[in-house]
Amino acid sequence: MKIAVIGATGMVGEVMLKVLAERKFPVTELIPVASEKSAGSTLHFEGKDYTVVTLQDAVNRAPEIAIFSAGGSVSLEWAPKFAAVGTTVIDNSSAWRMHEDKKLVVPEINGHLLTKADKIIANPNCSTIQLVMVLAPLHKKYGVKRVVVSTYQSITGTGVKAVKQMENERAGIQSDMVYPYPIDLNCLPHCDVFEDNGYTKEEMKLTKETKKILDPNISVTATAVRVPVVGGHSESVNIEFENEPNLGEIRKILHETSGITLQDNPDTNSYPMPRYASGRDEVFVGRIRQDFSQPNTINLWIVADNLRKGAATNAVQIAEIVCKL
């Protein structure tokens, strides 16, 4: 199985390689791809050294699967070129997510819909993945009517330059600013660019992608905030159901759902935190409680490592499905 990883030297790309190794994905030949300036450098994977190549070199080698994590413009230009030589593309950018003829996949929820004909498959936004992982089983039981989500997003979602900015601020070093303001000891209600409606692109991704994956009739509104955290993304979620929920049953459903770890015991201060979700593939959920301000509504708290289940792990899980088609 020839696997190309586009953006192999980036923050998500490095985690992608780590997850491929951890999950013992059947890689017979790795084709690491990066920018022109990185081409020719060496990358170590599973006891072997591989030469980093250009996108055109990778297309010429016609891998079975290409996992993209190099930005939307790269994906829009190059994913069709890979698909044209028979490669199945799993794209981690936002480029293909809302295309009507492209599937937006979280394996535990809709991986069964994939077919051999799907040559470009979209990986959802990191914040969306952890949200729908929790919403999906609850939607089946009670019917999700409306979701209000506030995110607390790790700087790793912006990339290595953002991590460097925070580290430099903590060390008192003047350096390039990825964000318009300092991020250390601060919170920025500004993830991605602002759109005409006053929401950011990140907030609208949460809205549109949740509808596409789960149900177009679910109303979703979001506020996305960048926080000085490295371990993962957190979300405060208010969920209104069509039918009256039972908290005990909700806990049981989530406890039994594959890919979710329930941490919900206030008596022992047990609740999800990004510090302890870091490096893990599960989606953690806790602080489950009734919203006493209106009927059929609960509040809960979701945490996941945005580089793993929010990106790399989800993509590799899709690749595992593709292998079996």
Q: Is 233 designated active site? A: yes
Catalytic residue (choose from 99, 126, 139, 323): 126
Quote helix, strand, coil % in the chain, to nearest 5: 35, 25, 40
In 213-235, which positions are buried (b, 16+ CB within 10 angstroms) versus exposed (e)?
A: bbeeebebebbbbbbbbbbbbbb
SS3 state of residue 261: strand
d(CA 259, CA 130): 10
d(CA 29, CA 270): 43
- Torsion angles phi and psi, residue 253, rounded to 5: -60, -50
- Torsion angles phi and psi, residue 66, rounded to 5: -125, 120
C-beta separation of 188 from 223 below 8 A: no
CA proximity to 138, closest of 314, 20, 256: 256
Catalytic residue (choose from 44, 191, 233, 323): 233
- Torsion angles phi and psi, residue 133, rounded to 5: -60, -35
CA proximity to 315, closest of 125, 73, 71: 125
Give the residue numbers marked as catalytic: 126, 233
